[in-house]
Amino acid sequence: MKWLQGTWVRRANLFRKFIGRRFQDRYKALVVEPGETFSGVGDYIHLKPVRARVVESQRLLEYPWSSQPKWKRAARPAWLEAGTALGERGGLPDDTSGWKQYFARLELAAKEGAG
């Protein structure tokens, strides 16, 4: 496998006049500070299936590949910190009413085409 991958990279680079590893600059990890940017990234992630037309915004909580159903659960995983996500949306409480407001705001953003 090492020979195959190395040969493929050398030939692909020669053919396309490319220097370096094949996937060196493709992915980036950026630090997202709390604030409007953080909440915008959360909206982007949660609304991605809606924008891709995989699921309708009304059924987003039922979509099995979304993290949204896990946020709402009382027994959510310990690593899933809800306080920051809700806090960036105006200090919403981590209870049923806070999550209803959060999801209503996401649904509105999905209908407006934002996120």
Q: Name the CA radius of gyration of the chain, rounded.
A: 20
Residue 65, domain extent? 36-112
Does the residue 73 lie in any domain? yes
Does the residue 72 lie in any domain? yes
What's the pLDDT score for residue 43? 83
Alpha helices in 1-115 (DSSP H): 2-16, 36-51, 68-72, 82-87, 96-112
Q: Could you tell me the mean pLDDT of each successive run of 10 residues in the chain, 115 residues long?
A: 81 81 64 77 85 84 80 75 79 84 85 65
Number of folded domains that form the chain: 1
Does the residue 23 lie in any domain? no
What's the pLDDT score for residue 45? 85
Does the residue 61 lie in any domain? yes
Does the residue 69 lie in any domain? yes
Query: Residue 9: is it exposed, middle or buried by C-beta count within 10 angstroms (0-12/13-18/19+)?
Result: middle
Does the residue 89 lie in any domain? yes
Distance CA 22, CA 64 (A): 33
pLDDT in tens, 30-60: 787 777 777 788 888 888 888 888 888 788 8
Q: Looking at the whole model, is its pTM more than 0.85?
A: no
